[in-house]
Structure 1
Amino acid sequence: MSSNEERRDAARRKLEERLERERHIARQRRITIISVCSVAVLAAVAVGGYFYYRHWDDKRNTDCTYTKAANDWDKTLKSIEEQVKAAPADQKAEGEKYLAFMREGGKNMRTSPMPQSRTRNTGTVDWTLKTNLGEIPITLDRSSAACNVNALISLTENKYYDGTDCHRLAESAKLHVLQCGDPTRTGAGAPGWTSPDENPTDLKPGEINPQMLQLGMTPPVIYPRGTVAIANRNDEQSGVTNTGSAQFFIVTKDSELQPTLSVVGKVDEAGMKIVDKVVAGGIDPGPVGTPTSGFPKTPLKIESASISS
């Protein structure tokens, strides 16, 4: 082969090598670009998925504010003792009876851990009260009062209600309720914390008193028979709110009440037949009651409470 042909072959090989290197570099560049783009897309999808999940999770959950509220029973007793000492002579006997009642109740005081603050706000939960008269099935509705339903679940899981008596039966012109959930049977017991108000918004209005409206008070609403709601010590005029916790009541007949009592669920008809037996037994005024509000003569003891989804 002549030197010219050798030079041409050498030049051709160098050109081919250079072109191959350039093609290789171009392929690597494309691979790098595709990889970077893929990572960017995956990152965008991950970030988007995270925020979508957070949005979805936030919509189905609620953050609740529970407040510590220690029940100083000794302080309560001391206050009652002072009132009895200062009472007129004709009232001392009744005062001493009430003081003895409170002292006895204090022996059964119990507490329960504060519920977790975050809870589901949709769906229902089956709550069963096993009583001395039979089982009372209740359907709890998270969408109605998520924080208070969560509180009942927590109290049930910590056996707060086990071995407690329903302590109040009220039967008057507009109020028909059976109240439970206080181990002391005094109406003053509490688990050591309070739950937030979740006022009902879908109840029918009750009878409006013009004088009530003039005083700026909220008109009552009708709580239907079978409703389960949380008792509280709220005082609208004094601005006292968020005082509910463990005590609940079952509406035995449509009742007019202030719309400040969180509705947590409903008793089914089988359970209401048991409640009706208690109502039919009548009221024992006891040491602190009246003919229209006192202990049920037919005792209803919650032997145990249980939750199932």
Structure 2
Amino acid sequence: MLKAEMLTEKGLMVITFFEEDAPIHVKNFVDLSKKGFYDGVTFHRVLPDFVIQGGDPTGTGAGGPGYTIPCELTGNNQYHDRGVLSMAHRGPNTGGSQFFICHSRNNTAHLDRRHTCFGKVVEGLDVIDQIRQGDQIISVTIIEEEA
């Protein structure tokens, strides 16, 4: 079982992944994290009671890793609840490195099965509410645990 520890300026969030439902997205996020891609990147978009968004190395909302991955929308965990980690994109099959984390279920139902949910914050939910636009991701550490 894979987990991630996302250390931000506002604290630590522990994320579990939906490996069965979104294997491409999980592998992509894990690979980028292991390369240090997210280290020092900011949350460039923060919308209260909706989402915090990061993963753009340019900080503008237009950057990415230089490639795209296909959406994975058929799994059981494709619902945008509080703490869910989901892939941001400009349209189907255009995601790459940008992700968002949901503040709550309020205002997110329209995202279900349109954006791939690939994990969930299971510790540090309070950190989501403290993040402000421009706050930095200090590091993302991947932890591999035996099931």
- TM over 0.5, yes or no? yes
Aligned length: 141
Could you tell me which of 137, 141, 147 is aligned with 1:306? 141
- Which 4+ runs in 1 deviate beyond 3 A? 200-203
Give structure 1 stretches of 5+ with no counterpart: 1-123, 204-220, 235-240, 279-295
Could you tell me which of 256, 260, 268 is aligned with 2:114? 260
Could you tell me which of 230, 250, 273 is aligned with 2:101? 250
| 1:226 and 2:83 are equivalent in the alignment | yes
8 Å contact from structure 2 (residues 22, 75) kept in 1: no
In structure 2, what residue type is equivalent to 1:229?
Answer: S
8 Å contact from structure 2 (residues 4, 140) kept in 1: yes
| 1:169 and 2:46 are equivalent in the alignment | yes
8 Å contact from structure 2 (residues 79, 117) kept in 1: no
Q: Give how far 1:185 is off.
A: 1.3
Q: Give how far 1:189 is off.
A: 0.3
Q: Give how far 1:201 is off.
A: 4.2
8 Å contact from structure 1 (residues 125, 140) kept in 2: yes
Deviation digits for residues 285-307 of structure 1 (CA, Å, limit 9, x no counterpart): xxxxxxxxxxx35x431111110
Match of 1:157 in 2: 34
8 Å contact from structure 1 (residues 198, 260) kept in 2: no
Give structure 2 stretches of 5+ with no counterpart: none
Query: What SS does the aligned partner of 2:3 have?
Result: strand
Match of 2:5 in 1: 128
Rate the CA distance shift 1:127–1:181 in 2: closer, same or farther, 3 A: same
Q: Distance in 2 between matches of 1:202 and 1:305?
A: 26
Query: What SS does the aligned partner of 2:25 have?
Result: helix
| 1:274 and 2:127 are equivalent in the alignment | yes
User: Greater relative contact order (Cα 8 A, min sep 6): structure 1 or 2?
Assistant: 2
Match of 1:184 in 2: 58
Q: Give how far 1:200 is off.
A: 4.2
RMSD of aligned alpha carbons? 1.8
Rate the CA distance shift 1:250–1:272 in 2: closer, same or farther, 3 A: same
Q: Give how far 1:202 is off.
A: 3.3
Deviation digits for residues 93-144 of structure 1 (CA, Å, limit 9, x no counterpart): xxxxxxxxxxxxxxxxxxxxxxxxxxxxxxx311111111221111112112
Larger Rg: 1
Q: Distance in 2 between matches of 1:265 and 1:222?
A: 11
| Residue identity (%) | 33
In structure 1, what residue type is equivalent to 2:115?
Answer: L
Q: Distance in 2 between matches of 1:264 and 1:200?
A: 12
Rate the CA distance shift 1:222–1:127 in 2: closer, same or farther, 3 A: closer
Deviation digits for residues 188-216 of structure 1 (CA, Å, limit 9, x no counterpart): 0011111111014436xxxxxxxxxxxxx
Q: Distance in 1 between matches of 2:99 and 2:44?
A: 11
In structure 1, what residue type is equivalent to 2:142?
Answer: I
In structure 1, what residue type is equivalent to 2:39?
Answer: D
Deviation digits for residues 68-111 of structure 1 (CA, Å, limit 9, x no counterpart): xxxxxxxxxxxxxxxxxxxxxxxxxxxxxxxxxxxxxxxxxxxx
